[in-house]
Structure 1
């Protein structure tokens, strides 16, 4: 691997201190429907089955002139029936504690429930602004049903229908008033230099340890961990800092073969995991060291590369591999033999359970991100092209030689090179891969997809111009 010390790490997307609004309530009160309505898109999974939202789902939403971080949570339950249900409760209350303002959602159609009283009691103990909302009131004639909720000692309840959008303007006004009273300045609050972050998507098959890795990095159970595959249904965003650099970690639902994805909930989670790849600057593909690389893993890697994202292969559960099998070179050799297209991508060996090797992922992420932003001088790109084509001339096209005149970088993230040739549509795929490998090796694009585009050289007098040199 070639390291270029002079290569700067360019700023990633700026992150500001946004006020946090958490939506809490009983299962099936309509929290995810309200979340999606306020967000303006289908971000949270909505299903008739209670308890579908297992982890917190977070997104930026605009309420009037103000941007907020909107947090959807699992339902509040005083008698969780399983370990997963208990973990959902912990996640819900952690979200409420982290929020600046809480929206407490009642099921207005069903009426007051003993759980609502417990919810109000616990929220009061937090000592922060709470806006109480009665949902599923599609018709103003139903608003009288909220009278029973005043017995809980609530001064105001906002009647809404999240499904139909009724009453959301009033809810937005109450949220704006509560946030203004807190005087949170999203544009100027000092967060200790938090002005940029690298977004990192953690993807992989179910139960390879994605959420365990996230929890190990963060230091507490940010994501629910359970031995049941697919426990993480939504993508979860978490900010961490290492060495003065900020990273936005995106944990995703386990991605299965499409034939095995049966439930609507699982299908939506897989789509969301793919979207997480699109949001990321760098992708960590987590693999099970006990199973090795599988065809499904390779397909996931191919998707990441198709999307132009830098990729690292991370073998997890390294601590569970018997001592006689802990040969990293053997793993790399098998990877090159069985999946040659992935042979030159960086490989890491970690244990999310013990923490072994976890911290080494951050320098790797920085290197991959820097590589995706790299812009070598045009003169060096053309010197590389000249050397590569002389060392291995391209095959002839219909008996006529295939010539390459010039190359220029026309994009970053991923690095995109436009190569001018006499027959752009006839460059054989193997030769394209050869040129890509030469550029990758020459400029240290290790683990970074390099895209080549072939164009005909502009004719003299055509008015077309070649890309400018750097």
Structure 2
């Protein structure tokens, strides 16, 4: 089940980033070597009660003149409408209701998406409630008073947000066809790949624009199996500044990756792996998806017997945080190796759903520990009592240890490598959770 997406929209200085950081809180786990974690955090995972969702900050609006503010707000609202399941429309009780709020409210109302109207900076409910009621004039429902700074009213707001999430039994579960997102920078050939795959296996393409989002899902039948491809092309933005386009495409990427089982990251062979490719790959890695790196336009590269080898090493070097990713050299133009994609998808889906018996896991663990002692600190050594697999997609393992502080990233990776040696787990990330257990237990 993909996580719902919640977007925050609002004018400058209404407190969007305060609210964002407040909700993201300490739950943002920044893995040091993942480029997906950008300096300006665009998205974060949030859990409220037992529901998890992805929170997206649609971007800061720079105050210049009202016209510019309004056009940028429209843009923000468009992004939110396109990618989000629920929209938080943030306003400011101190500034009161302004003209651009009303215009954006009109857009949001026409979107037919659930909109939660939130009035920020209400530090004192008795004092400010009369001003909060003014926001009823927007005609998009009951305003919810909050103070992001004092963390007041946040729970009520979140209760309201999760009410609008689709129920888990949403019929999404029955659809067990593999979902594959094709992501990458603009102009690397994402759409050409889908078109070529469709052309080869002529099938009815269901071009129903996704009910909740704008990415177009294409169903392709191959060897009597159906695959759903989520294409993130469609960057319909012409004269926009590079940063804006980049932010916009990253938000779209997060939305597509969230819904996919496997992510194909398309890289331009001529250009090589860029920083933005690594950023996009980082998002898929953080989200624990299966990953294929497809190097497109491979027909345009002059080759000798070492080219593939050298190129592979270069990719593995730049994307060193995901050594498990499968690499495929293709050409959307000639169709070279495109059919290999299906084999890889099937293998990765198997890896993602693989369950390893606990007994076998603990044998591997015992052997690994005997070969390389766990780290110690100030005379205290890490002890791993037990390991068990708790879930799939991605395969997730819990290790019971004597002291979490001692579990070093590199040792966990060593254990991961041993498990991979035994079971492959091709093309999918593996998660480890450490739980402390006292010696006496």
- Fold-level similarity (TM above 0.5): yes
For the pair shown, which has the larger CA radius of gyration, 1 or 2? 1
The alpha-carbon deviation at position 365 of structure 1 amounts to 0.7
> Aligned partners of 2:269 and 2:178: how far apart in 1?
26
Cα deviation 1:112-160 (Å, max 9, x = unaligned): xxxxxxxxxxxxxxxxxxxxxxx99xxxxxxxxxxxxxxxxxxxxxxxx
> Aligned partners of 2:372 and 2:289: how far apart in 1?
29
Pair 1:343–1:450, CA change in 2 (3 A): closer
Structural mapping, 1:126-145, within 5 Å: none
Cα deviation 1:224-273 (Å, max 9, x = unaligned): 9xxxxxxxx952211111111111100114899xx96445x774443122
> Aligned partners of 1:360 and 1:431: how far apart in 2?
34
Q: Which residue of structure 1 lines up, in the alignment, with residue 15 of structure 2?
A: none
Residues 234 and 269, structure 1, Cα contact 8 Å, conserved in 2: no
SS at match of 1:341: coil
Is the counterpart of residue 448 in structure 1 residue 428 in structure 2?
yes
Q: Which residue of structure 1 lines up, in the alignment, with residue 393 of structure 2?
A: 413
Structural mapping, 1:161-180, within 5 Å: none
> Aligned partners of 2:309 and 2:293: how far apart in 1?
14
Give the alignment's TM-score, normalised by structure 1.
Answer: 0.52
Structural mapping, 1:228-243, within 5 Å: 234-243=214-223
Is the counterpart of residue 275 in structure 1 residue 221 in structure 2?
no
The alpha-carbon deviation at position 340 of structure 1 amounts to 3.1
> Aligned partners of 2:175 and 2:84: how far apart in 1?
18
Q: Which residue of structure 1 lines up, in the alignment, with residue 358 of structure 2?
A: 378
Q: Which residue of structure 2 lines up, in the alignment, with residue 346 of structure 1?
A: 326
Q: Which residue of structure 2 lines up, in the alignment, with residue 287 of structure 1?
A: 267
Structural mapping, 1:30-109, within 5 Å: none
> Aligned partners of 2:248 and 2:279: how far apart in 1?
19
> Aligned partners of 1:323 and 1:330: how far apart in 2?
11
Q: Which residue of structure 2 lines up, in the alignment, with residue 126 of structure 1?
A: none
RMSD over aligned Cα atoms: 4.1
Residues 203 and 283, structure 1, Cα contact 8 Å, conserved in 2: yes
Q: Which residue of structure 2 lines up, in the alignment, with residue 65 of structure 1?
A: none
Q: Which residue of structure 2 lines up, in the alignment, with residue 356 of structure 1?
A: 336
Q: Which residue of structure 2 lines up, in the alignment, with residue 250 of structure 1?
A: 230
The match for 2:406 among 402, 426, 433 is: 426
- Unaligned stretches of 5+ in structure 2? 3-55, 57-69, 86-109, 112-137, 141-170, 208-212
Pair 1:292–1:262, CA change in 2 (3 A): closer
Runs of 4+ in 1 over 6 A off after TM superposition: 46-50, 57-60, 220-224
Residues 205 and 254, structure 1, Cα contact 8 Å, conserved in 2: no
The alpha-carbon deviation at position 441 of structure 1 amounts to 2.3
Q: Which residue of structure 1 lines up, in the alignment, with residue 190 of structure 2?
A: 210
The alpha-carbon deviation at position 338 of structure 1 amounts to 4.4
The alpha-carbon deviation at position 164 of structure 1 amounts to 7.1
Give the length in aligned residue pairs.
282
The alpha-carbon deviation at position 310 of structure 1 amounts to 0.9
Give the alignment's TM-score, normalised by structure 2.
Answer: 0.55
Is the counterpart of residue 301 in structure 1 residue 281 in structure 2?
yes
